[in-house]
């Protein structure tokens, strides 16, 4: 591995985050970062173009030297590896966003460097090994770090999940679309909300992706209060202190976490990512969350560390971690 730059894109339903990382020998350094509205990205070529041009304001202090004589333009020849992560299923270099009209096909692109397309929560899983994951806030369980399966879950525009399992080479990522599985509603009160949610979204049944994401939070708050406001406004108004919205939402989020912990047997820990929890940490630290998280006969759940990733660039760091591994193994 001679080239020291890695390019990463983390593309969600609302925004695409782009970054350049440099390998300094002692670790990775974030050299440049920018956000591009996903609506401006129509295809693979648009993504490559976004990697090429960098305004000086996007380049971090001390990183100008990586761009060569202070230049702010790059092409794929400058990179050791590129990782593109999208919020949707990926198979054999091709994938599409679950909640937006963007399809990427690396098979049709001519990359002069190593390139990989992955699910967005695969890079979140890799982020558990990066500094942002190692420094994540412990919210439940023991403060331990063992070489066992690690899992990640996170709600934002969508609900993402993934896992890392140990293998002979270190770790192997297991992407998943489990966020699109049916969500379990318990009791008449929750079933009544389920009916309300389905009527609002014109669904026969609701998934986790419909229930604990931004649109689900908006509908839950409307159901409980009669107030129609955005998810961000709900967070500011109803997720900063004990409210019925916080109680219900925390319970639903904990139920999704518990299900994923049981499905993966993540003795190495569960990392909670995604914008909703990062911006509203009480949703995963309230007594409502804790009560539901351990509302199960399996006592080994309490032996699994649960951590909150508060770094909103965690997907970029996870992608950089993966890109460096790809380059090393080449």
**Res 71: pLDDT:** 47
Answer yes or no: do 178 and 253 share one domain.
Answer: yes
Tracing tokens 């020291």 back to the chain, one arrives at 4
Is residue 287 located within the same domain as residue 319?
Answer: no
Residues 100 and 144 in one domain: no
Classify residue 265 by burial, with Cβ atoms within 10 Å: 0-12, 13-18, 19+.
middle
CATH number for position 219: 3.40.367.20
Are both 16 and 124 inside the same structural domain? yes
The verdict on 144 and 215 lying in the same domain is yes
pLDDT at residue 94, rounded to an integer: 87
| Closest among 242, 238, 302 to 276, alpha carbons compared | 238
Q: How far apart are CA 187 and CA 189, in angstroms?
A: 6
Per-residue pLDDT of the chain (330 residues; tens, 9 = 90+): 456 889 999 998 788 999 999 887 778 888 888 999 988 888 888 888 888 776 655 555 545 555 554 445 566 667 889 999 998 889 988 888 876 678 888 887 777 678 899 999 999 999 999 999 999 999 999 999 899 999 999 999 889 999 999 998 889 999 999 999 999 999 999 999 999 999 999 999 999 999 999 999 999 999 999 999 999 999 999 999 999 999 999 999 999 999 999 999 999 999 999 999 999 999 999 999 999 999 999 899 999 999 999 998 999 999 999 999 998 886
pLDDT of residue 49: 82
The residue range of the domain holding 222 is 140-308
CATH number at residue 37: 3.30.420.40
The structural domain count of the chain equals: 2
Pair (299, 320) in one structural domain: no
Residues 197 and 119 placed together within one structural domain of the fold: no
pTM for the full model?
A: 0.91
Are 171 and 277 in a shared domain? yes
Nearest alpha carbon to residue 266 among 321, 305, 295, 318: 305
Q: Are residues 122 and 193 in the same domain?
A: no
**Residue 185 shares a structural domain with residue 110:** no
The rounded distance, in Å, linking the Cα atoms of 66 and 74 is 10
- Measured from the Cβ of residue 70, the count of other Cβ atoms closer than 10 Å reads 9
**Cβ partners under 8 Å of residue 71, min gap 6:** none
């Amino acid at each position: 591995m001679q080239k020291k730059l890695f390019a990463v894109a983390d593309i969600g339903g609302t925004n695409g985050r782009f970054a350049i990382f440099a390998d300094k020998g002692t670790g990775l350094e974030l050299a440049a970062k920018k956000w591009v509205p996903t609506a401006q990205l129509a295809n693979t070529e648009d993504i490559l173009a976004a990697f090429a041009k960098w305004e000086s304001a996007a380049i971090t202090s001390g990183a100008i030297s990586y761009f060569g004589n202070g230049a702010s333009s790059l092409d794929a020849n400058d990179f050791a590896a590129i990782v593109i992560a999208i919020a949707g299923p990926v198979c054999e270099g091709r994938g599409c966003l679950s909640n937006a009209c963007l399809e990427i096909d690396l098979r049709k692109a001519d990359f002069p460097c190593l390139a990989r397309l992955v699910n967005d929560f695969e890079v979140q899983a890799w982020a558990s090994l990066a500094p942002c994951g190692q420094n994540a806030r412990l919210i439940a369980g023991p403060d331990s770090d063992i070489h066992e399966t690690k899992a990640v879950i996170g709600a934002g525009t969508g609900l993402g999940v993934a896992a890392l399992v140990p293998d002979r080479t270190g770790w192997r990522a297991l992407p998943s679309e489990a966020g699109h599985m049916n969500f379990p509603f318990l009791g008449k009160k929750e079933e009544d909300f389920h009916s309300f949610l389905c009527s609002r979204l014109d669904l026969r049944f609701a998934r986790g992706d419909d229930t604990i994401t931004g649109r689900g939070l908006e509908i839950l708050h409307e159901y409980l209060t009669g107030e129609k406001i955005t998810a961000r406004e709900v967070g500011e108004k109803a997720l900063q202190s004990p409210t019925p919205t916080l109680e219900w939402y925390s319970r639903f989020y904990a139920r999704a976490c518990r299900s994923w912990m049981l499905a993966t047997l993540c003795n190495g820990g569960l990392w909670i990512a995604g914008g909703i929890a990062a911006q509203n940490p009480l949703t995963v630290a309230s007594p409502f969350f804790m009560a539901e998280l351990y509302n199960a006969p399996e006592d080994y759940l309490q032996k699994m560390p649960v951590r909150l990733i508060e770094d909103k660039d965690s997907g970029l760091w996870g992608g950089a971690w993966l890109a460096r591994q790809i380059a090393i193994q080449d």
